[in-house]
A and B are shown apart, each in its own frame.
Chain A
Amino acid sequence: MKTKLLIVGGGPAGLSGAIAAAESGVDVLVVDEGLELGGQLVKQTHKFFGHQGFFASKRGVEIAKILKNRIEELGVKYMLQTTLVGFYEDTAVAYSREEDKTYEIDYDYVLLATGASEKFLVFKNNMLPGVYGAGAVQTLMNQYGVLPGEDFLIIGAGNIGLIVAYQIAQAGGNVRAIVEISDKVGGYEVHANKIRRMGIPILLRHTIIKAIGKDRVKGAVIAKVDENFKVIEGTEREIVADTICLAVGLQPSIELASQLGVEMVYIPELGGHVPKRDENMRTSKRNIFVAGDLSGIEEATSAMAEGYIAGYTIAQDITGKDLSEKINKYKEELADLRRGPFGKKVRSGLEKMGIVLPSGGYRTDLQKDFGPAGKLRAVMECHQNIPCNPCEAVCPTNAINMGGNINGIPHINYDKCVGCMMCVMKCPGLAIFMVQEFDEYSVVGIPYEFEPLPNVGDKVILMDRNGEDVGEGVIQRVIKNRKDKTHVVYVAMEKGLERTVRHFRVPSDEEDEIVCRCEEVTKRDVEKAIDMGFTDFEELRRYLRIGMGPCGGRTCRLITMGILARKTGKSMEEISNMNLRPPSIPISFGSILRGEKE
């Protein structure tokens, strides 16, 4: 098979790269191992932040469809359920699962957009069935429509943990708690608020100690930790749950980049080991580009911008056309996305690679004013500088503004607000509410994305921002939003409660800490080996067989390096020499025999 540009990964980064290159007349082939195009997007049922150019306020699944339609229009070739297993000295090899055979691919340029994989976590009994990765739970429930349990415990309160918890609730599951070891929520406050007001506790400074159960998870023991993340004795308690969902971060999927021999750097702010690249997403090899989570864990919006930059730069190389105007436009967009406080990590990570980005220059003060009592109006509870502006874009009377920069805190001009609730339906953070005070009672309009929708007249229990019950209310109006699916439910309540109510509900033995799943290597095994005198990651790997099983080290590599760094006092950079070897997933002899060269 021959192509000018081979793109590995059909997530937002890869697809945007494909669009840019194909638009500019380049012949493109996208290879993706998933069932559908879209990468992480196909599992995301929530609305994305950002601005319209990057499909803000659309749900991940919808963005995936838009990108897919666009590449089909452009005649981009793509192969699904196909894994790029190796970049060899002599050829590149893709393996098709459906056909159970391999293909050799001849290319001039490569754009790697392989995204990221989930990190694993070490605790007792962590291998029991019922301990699942957050991505796995998402795949099952949002792609196959199967919910793997009833009572869930989520580990990690970053955006992924928060969103997965919300999605589990949407699918009808019970989220018992989110456990977070640090003293603050890592994800966006608006995501955390959606969780809190449903009454799901986010337990900060807590960790999981062990899963309970013999053949499957029956519960978990959690405990408080001190400033040094050490468990405080006596604070252990049990939580009943049949599913423990790990959302402890992502690591860039660097296997193929490593096989291609591009220069790697270890930058914790970008998620660990990442390929070194310039502002145009070009790696140390002229014809190899990267984009998206592979080049640093971030977001779909930045993944798309990076994809475009890479795609246009490659097209410029191949066709000789000057595409600098487009490239610069996306660079400016990217710089804007990364200006705010949540971009700080990425900014300092990129600075280590020599890429310096601006910060600040947006409004930071909150709106104090709650608006004129008695008027039906929107109130905004968006208190962090997130690069997102669908509310401003959708407001028909220009009542909402971000203060000139997309990272600004939105303010609302109550003279102009007509109470149309368009912003409530659009806000990806579900952080805008409607309020109106009457003489006898008040009404709050709440964005609502659960099944079943309540009926007018239903009695409901009112909940505050922390999910505490604060009284009873009656459903007054239900505004169905068939298109966007964020409905608005108006609840009538006692006067004065409109400032606190933000949600409602309808009344209705052997304990091993596994590091390497494939070879069943425990944390104790690793520590013992280090005590014996193994001080090199590669030596440890060869001695304990970590990473020699079918997963190729995806779950255990980082954990082992972390233990090694901690015990030896060496930095991650120092112990990061490693050889990642093809094929990146196991392929059978038969599939090679049935392989096609053309």
Chain B
Amino acid sequence: MKEYRVCIIGGGIIGTSIAFHLAKLGERRVAVFERSYISSGATGRCGGGIRQQWSARMNVRLAMRSVKLFERFEKDAGFDIEYRQGGYLLMAFTEEEAERFERNVKMQREEGLDVEILSPKMVKERYPFINTENLILATFCQTDGHANPHLANFGYAFAARRLGVDIYTHAEVKDIIVQNGSVMGIESSIGSFKCDVVVNAAGAWSKEVGKMAGIDIPTTSYRHQIFVTESLRDFFPFMAISFDGNFYIRQTKHGQMIMGQGDPNEKPGVNRNVTYEFLKSMSEKMTKIFPFLENVRILRQWAGCYNMSPDAQPIVGCSKKVNGFCYAAGFSGHGFMLAPAVGEALAELIIKGSTEHVDISFLDIDRFEKGEVEIEGNVV
């Protein structure tokens, strides 16, 4: 039977980032098991936004570390991922939201982040194509931005493979073998493998994979829909988002506008169908704030799943109940941007027993038992 030190379940951005960072730390006895193809999960369906302006301090730190790693991505992984630090514009349309933003900015600045507060007039001057009617204020951070999630996912996977990691696609993990409280190996559709450590990076399926090891991962998955338009000339360098307005929008390197929203009435479960209702409500909302969209055509619409945790913060760590069982799940709407820092931290934890760059002990699963939760508010 083939043996590995670490078997990673899930070939999304999280699983491949962990694999890459393990290999970079010198551990090459690593395998990634992906049930379908690379980027088939949420990663290949996401918006690609990278933002450090969060309301929870932990997320700000993780995101700031990730930005450092995204800046080095091409050098580290040898792959151009269309990374662009065009900034992120957070738009508040209610007084309460504006107050929250001002509080957040204070905390973000304490963490060393350079954030501006913009009046509607300033926004209009910078971006004449935005209708700033009803806007109360906006915050802007120039080092935020976006990247192409497919390319980042492939980048980590190819770099890990080059460093000796085995990446199995069309290989589904069916069970995790646990004996006397320790992980012994896995069973998969392509055979059984021995290993000391299993990492649950199964995205929307993290709860099911947790059950294989007898650990309850308190996550629920919800569909999120998204679409792109035809290509336009490059004129929209930043990503815009609003939580009370419930939308996000950016322009890809190829000129297409990509945008989406959350649906508070969405039922839990893995559903990747698309609805017309979504297109209608987006059309109405987005043409008001971005009037240039009226004559722009929509090309393609799809859906992916947010894997939500109770506090909208990720669940990352290694189990104290089952030796060798680690997890990186519950990334809600921000797993793409956190992937570099999370992959690095979890790899450090597995190899060295402690983290070096960002302390992630707060993200461990036991926070829910201890009742130490801080709900992240800056999500769509």
Contacts and interface: CB of A to CB of B under 8 A. Distances in A.
A88 B274 contact: yes
Nearest to B284: A593
Contact of B301 (A90, A91, A539, A583): A583
B188 interface: no
B276 A86 contact: yes
A589 interface: yes
Q: Which 8 A-B pairs have the closest CB atoms?
A: A586-B297, A542-B150, A536-B37, A592-B283, A89-B273, A589-B283, A88-B276, A590-B294
Contacts of A93: 276
B294 A582 contact: no
Interface string B30-58: 00000001111000100000000000000
Contact of B302 (A577, A581, A588): A581
B37 A588 contact: no
20 contacts: A88-B273, A90-B275, A90-B276, A93-B276, A104-B276, A539-B37, A539-B39, A539-B154, A542-B44, A543-B151, A548-B254, A548-B299, A550-B299, A586-B297, A586-B298, A589-B283, A589-B293, A589-B298, A592-B298, A593-B284
A579 interface: yes
B23 to A, nearest CB: 16
Q: Which has the most chain B C-beta neighbours within 10 Å: A90, A539, A587, A593?
A: A539
Contacts of A468: none
Interface of B: 37-40, 44, 150-151, 154, 158, 161, 169, 228-231, 254, 256, 273-277, 279-280, 283-284, 286-287, 293-302
A360 to B, nearest CB: 43
- Determine chain A's interface SS by DSSP, over half rule: loop
Contacts of B256: 548
B137 to A, nearest CB: 26
Nearest to A91: B276
A261 to B, nearest CB: 8
Nearest to A539: B37
A127 B302 CA distance: 30
A538 interface: yes
B275 A89 contact: yes
A596 to B, nearest CB: 11
A593 B285 CA distance: 10
Interface string A52-91: 0000000000000000000000000000000000101111
Interface string A145-176: 00000000000000000000000000000000
B280 A595 contact: yes
A485 B110 CA distance: 86
A255 to B, nearest CB: 11
B277 A90 contact: yes
Interface string A541-557: 01101001110100000
A552 B300 CA distance: 8
A93 B275 CA distance: 10
Nearest to B167: A533
A589 B296 contact: yes
Contacts of A104: 276
A533 B286 contact: no
Nearest to B291: A589
A543 B294 CA distance: 30
Contacts of B298: 583, 586-589, 592
A552 B228 CA distance: 12
B38 to A, nearest CB: 6
A589 B276 contact: no
